[in-house]
A and B are shown apart, each in its own frame.
Chain A
Amino acid sequence: MAHSPRKGSPARWAAVVLPPLCLGGLMAWTAGVFRPPSISPSHFMQRFHNAGALGDGFRRAHAKGMCVTGWFDPSPKGQALSRSGIFKGEHLPVMGRFSLAPPLPYLPDNPAVARSLALQILSPKGDDWRMALVDVPLQSMRDIADAYAFFGAAKLDPATHKPDPVAVQTYAVQRPWLKTAFEQAKAHKQTSDLTNDSYNSLDSFILTDSTGKKTAVRWSVVAKEPFAPAEGSGANDGNYLFKRLVQTLDQRPLSWDIVATIARDGDPVNDPSQPWDAADQKVTVGTVTFTKAYSEDESPCGPMVFDPTILPDGISVSDDPLLALRSSVYMRSYATRSAEHKAPSMVTPGDVTNPTLTPDGKGQ
């Protein structure tokens, strides 16, 4: 048998080198090398940074917050909609985080700012339901491109430390599909407190019942406390919203109903910027009750990620593109901030122990 030469021709060497190079090149391309930068989680991190996110172990959005604990009691109507273990009837522990929506961890409380509530409900069987809710009626973005532009427009002007009003205006004007969302945000009456505010998932979810029947819903966590307008409630304490929440919890538990708005045919499930039919059926699937407040510096809710795609069996994501975006960006923010040294939160353990309002405007 003729023995083949050990030294190869250039063609043979090409056959050795090119396949692994091609694989490596394809992987590099997938990782974003050799192509115009796509909108990746790290691009969002950069935009949050420009919009005032500090780093220092803080969340890149909804940065200022405080933790609460309590319980969840499901209603039988929840069990009819979803087979999830969350709705089986047990009294379940809840961890919550009230926050201000902007990326600024030291933002003084004020009536103009949007507020948010994040929840984690756990069942003993390991069902884990996380929710991320905001008190605006509709999302002011419909997809990833909108979200990227939105946080770009939120960039702080170095001179004023505020977003450029022209950029914010341009964002709205260039997106006629967000007209209703901005109109409803403008018409939304802000409440006096975190305690009497209601919070919305904005994104849609799919419930599956025990027979496999699917229902598209949007969640609202609706205050049981009576409405009072925000006008004139801006006490001169930078933590007045959080301190007043602590003061109330020191006196009595506070409850919210978890309400599912059931989509009808024609309701846009994949677009959180669009309203659903006002006559849609609303079903209260349970009640969440908070009893105790903690500074996020001494509660596991501080570092916790409230990724709304972490769902128990019986609740799943819809095809809303912002849910997938949240999951990927939250994960990146969570990984980055977890590796940082955490600076003290604005709502300190002392504020929770002694929630007396101070008139110094700093809330300390």
Chain B
Amino acid sequence: MSFSQNTGHAAPFPRLSILLHWVMAALIIVMLFVGLVMAHDSTIHYAGLFTLHRTVGFLILLLVIVRLINRFTNRTPTLPDDLPAPMKLAAHLSHILLYGFMIALPLVGWAMLSAGGYPITLWGGCHIPPLMGFHPHLWGALRCLHSLLAYGLILLIIAHIGAALLHGVIRRDGVMGSMLGR
């Protein structure tokens, strides 16, 4: 079964957009798994996972800035004309939410560690400055928000993959292919 046939109207995304999408997709999936293990398992590798989580989180924050700039400077293929209006709306809304979560999660992570008085050391020993001073109450609230956002992002990603496959396998309108570079 071929998952993608560019039989629809959608033109492919620009190369840079495709590269950013897939690199960030891989990083975000890794981050979500690392975060789940950190939160739900007293792992013997906690310190290493925590350093990895901070480092990749910071990298994602940098990449999402590049990606936002790219989004506004590069064209985005339009959705097929025959896509029903509610689906179009859902597509746009979910993309805005995905961007929002991609920005908010690392920012909240950075802020919560700052508020908790944790030094923010990246892989290789590089320090990044705290976003705020020591506010233990805020740390507790932000730590909770960080989890809620992560679970929200997981649901969004699951919906996103489902929607992409719906375009690629059922509708076969070229929308999925546009992010595969076809």
Residues of A within 8 A of B (CB): 1, 3-4, 6-8, 11-13, 15-17, 19-21, 23-24, 27, 30-32, 38-44, 126, 128, 144, 300, 303-305, 307, 309-310, 313, 317, 321, 323-325, 327-329, 334-340
Q: Check: B81 CB closer than 8 A to any chain A CB.
A: no
A-B contact pairs, 15 of them (CB 8 A): A12-B170, A15-B165, A20-B158, A20-B161, A20-B162, A20-B165, A23-B161, A24-B158, A31-B39, A40-B40, A310-B119, A321-B44, A327-B47, A334-B136, A338-B143
Task: Report Cα–Cα, A18/B140, bound state, in Å.
Answer: 36
Q: In B22-46, which residues have CB < 8 Å from any A CB?
A: 29, 32-33, 36-46
Q: Which residues does chain A contribute within 8 Å of B47, judged by CB atoms?
A: 309, 317, 323-324, 327
Task: Report Cα–Cα, A185/B18, bound state, in Å.
Answer: 62
A23-B158, A327-B47, A338-B137 known; A6-B170 Cβ under 8 A: yes
**Most chain B beta carbons < 10 A, residue from A4, A23, A328, A339:** A328
A27 to chain B, nearest CB (A): 6
A20-B165, A310-B118, A324-B47 known; A4-B172 Cβ under 8 A: yes
Task: Report Cα–Cα, A276/B117, bound state, in Å.
Answer: 34
Contact-residue bracket for chain B? 35 or more
Q: In B128-171, which residues have CB < 8 Å from any A CB?
A: 134, 136-137, 139-141, 143-144, 154, 157-159, 161-162, 165-166, 169-171
| Contact present for B161 and A40 (CB under 8 Å) | no
6 nearest A-B residue pairs (beta carbon)? A338-B140, A339-B140, A303-B136, A324-B46, A335-B143, A16-B165
How many A-B Cβ pairs are below 8 Å?
Answer: 131
Q: Check: B116 CB closer than 8 A to any chain A CB.
A: yes
Q: Which residues does chain B contribute within 8 Å of A43, judged by CB atoms?
A: 42
| Contact present for A11 and B162 (CB under 8 Å) | no
Task: Report Cα–Cα, A63/B40, bound state, in Å.
Answer: 24
Q: Which residues does chain B contribute within 8 Å of A303, judged by CB atoms?
A: 136
Q: Which residues does chain B contribute within 8 Å of A8, judged by CB atoms?
A: 169-170
Q: Name B's interface SS.
A: helix
Q: Which residues does chain B contribute within 8 Å of A7, judged by CB atoms?
A: 170
Q: Which residues does chain A contribute within 8 Å of B165, judged by CB atoms?
A: 15-17, 19-20
Task: Report Cα–Cα, A27/B165, bound state, in Å.
Answer: 19
| Contact present for B119 and A126 (CB under 8 Å) | yes
Residues of B within 8 A of A (CB): 1, 3, 5, 7, 29, 32-33, 36-47, 50, 116-119, 125, 127, 134, 136-137, 139-141, 143-144, 154, 157-159, 161-162, 165-166, 169-172
Task: Report Cα–Cα, A137/B170, bound state, in Å.
Answer: 67
Task: Report Cα–Cα, A276/B37, bound state, in Å.
Answer: 33
| Contact present for A339 and B137 (CB under 8 Å) | yes
Task: Report Cα–Cα, A329/B32, bound state, in Å.
Answer: 20
- The 8 Å CB contact of A335, one of B119, B139, B161, is B139
